[in-house]
A and B are shown apart, each in its own frame.
Chain A
């Protein structure tokens, strides 16, 4: 029982990070109809910026997180403003290719500035543990879950009730009709990029504070958040969070019970589990768990 709970906790912590990245994917997809392949690059950039703020500039960790998220948001919004604005009305495919291009720019940029070495992000969590009964909970994991929950809740309140949130949903549903209401699509797009870049940076920093440390490969986590987003439903923010948690739990549980249940499948079977789950769920629900087919009057 303890082992199960321990694994579930690890899964939630991992899932929280996936959820943040997946939510970032969904926000941009929903607003602009574009799958942003540069999400992993923005995540890497954000976590390295966090490293610069804490380690090089010795800023307090909490403030460093905020600064890193804000800078990543600026980069995302600026990229949208400078590059993608020119692509309005062009085929989605072309825009998607540009985001792949951005990924290929961010990757070498990060290694050029910070190098290939594995860095240790100075953080107050380190390997501290809280012991609750028989469970051993990592402080970093607790923070990761808590921060994600707070940020996600804040996003949903913003998305549902704020004026800009309404504008974002309207633009997502029908860009032209939103324009006709006087909603500035450019602002909505820029805000979408800013939010999802900030989410990526937050995910990157909590990840970099973990046992893996900070290396240029950190952006690869976006590849695992990808199935999380797809199985949750491409256009559903709530689905992204749910998908992230499912993928995280599945991965952690498979890893935890690897030697008992999955020994036949080899050591790293947990890595492919997210994709297997994605395929299975898509077979039953092609538009994802919470993705909308389309609202229609009957």
Chain B
């Protein structure tokens, strides 16, 4: 029997975010990450994916953003206006878009920075061993300056750094960005491994194929609203998703491509077309 009132690990309800007091970026977004799940968040550039992550992790302030409505809850506990340090201590770690490793520091020091909120030495040692096991390439280059690692290694370091905080929920912002297909596969495998070890994952991606292939559930964000959500396999089969995010050609249309006007499931305002 399933427990009836177990709150989801992360719950975002009716979140509204405004930048510079005027730019409305999220218009009432609701999203849930159940414990143990991998949830994919898809959407075009400017849809508000990164803003959503910033709102969850308390990083809006440096960008002059504010949560004007809605709540963010972590395992039933409100963290809507928590500062970043508290969010990390509560178990949410983030891999930022573009990796954002500390390029002038060594690999080892990057990992130590990631463990900043963990006071227990035993825990830090344990996490460190786990990261080294997960990323053998980093183990070989522990004393190298992080800025000289290859792009793939830097992404591994960014993920490893986040794992040093012993997260229960890992937020990944476009981990496949700028990586060769083989490395994307590697990143995907690592996310699966991390998830199997018990960490829930919210995966923000433009590479929808990759994201939906490992996710249990997906959300599609457009211009600050969730326009579509459902189980990942359902989204994978969805014609609109296939056409716009997976690059598939809709079956049966004579020209090979459907006209935008025919689509009725939701109003599309695509700015990103590929």
Contacts and interface: CB of A to CB of B under 8 A. Distances in A.
Contacts of A183: 85, 113, 116
Interface in B10-57: 57
Contacts of B116: 163, 166-167, 170, 181-183
Interface residues of B, number: 34
A295 interface: yes
A176 B100 contact: yes
A184 interface: yes
A180 B100 contact: yes
A12 to B, nearest CB: 30
B239 interface: no
Interface in B92-116: 94, 96, 100-105, 109-110, 112-114, 116
Contact of A179 (B62, B64, B105, B151): B62
B112 A173 contact: no
A184 B86 CA distance: 9
Interface string A264-276: 0000000000000
Given A174-B100, A182-B117, A166 B112 contact: yes
B217 interface: no
A235 to B, nearest CB: 10
B76 interface: no
Interface string A172-211: 0111111111111000000000000000000000000000
Interface string B111-128: 011101100000000000
Given A89-B62, A167-B116, A182-B87, A177 B100 contact: yes
Contacts, number: 87
Interface stretch (B141-149, B190-198, B200-208, B257-265): B141-149
B102 A170 contact: yes
Interface of A: 88-89, 163, 166-167, 169-170, 173-184, 292, 295-298
Q: Which 3 A-B pairs have the closest CB atoms?
A: A182-B88, A182-B117, A177-B100
B165 interface: yes
Contacts of B101: 177
A173 B84 contact: no
B89 interface: yes
A156 B49 CA distance: 41
B165 A182 contact: yes
Contacts of B113: 166-167, 169-170, 178, 181, 183
B113 to A, nearest CB: 4
A208 B4 CA distance: 73
A181 B157 CA distance: 13
Given A170-B113, A173-B102, 13 more contacts: A169-B102, A176-B59, A176-B96, A177-B101, A180-B94, A181-B113, A181-B116, A182-B84, A183-B113, A184-B83, A184-B85, A295-B147, A297-B147
A298 B96 CA distance: 22
A32 B110 CA distance: 19
B94 A292 contact: no
Nearest to B112: A166
B61 interface: yes
Nearest to B53: A180
A89 B63 CA distance: 8
B103 A180 contact: no
A183 to B, nearest CB: 5
Contacts of A180: 57, 59, 84, 88, 94, 96, 100
Nearest to A89: B62
B161 interface: yes
Contacts of A295: 103-104, 145, 147-148
Contacts of A163: 112, 116
26 contacts: A89-B61, A89-B64, A166-B112, A167-B113, A169-B105, A170-B102, A170-B113, A170-B116, A173-B104, A173-B105, A176-B96, A177-B96, A177-B100, A177-B101, A177-B102, A179-B84, A179-B85, A180-B59, A180-B96, A181-B161, A182-B88, A182-B89, A292-B104, A295-B147, A297-B147, A297-B149
Q: Which of A89, A167, A179, A183 has the most CB of B within 10 A?
A: A179
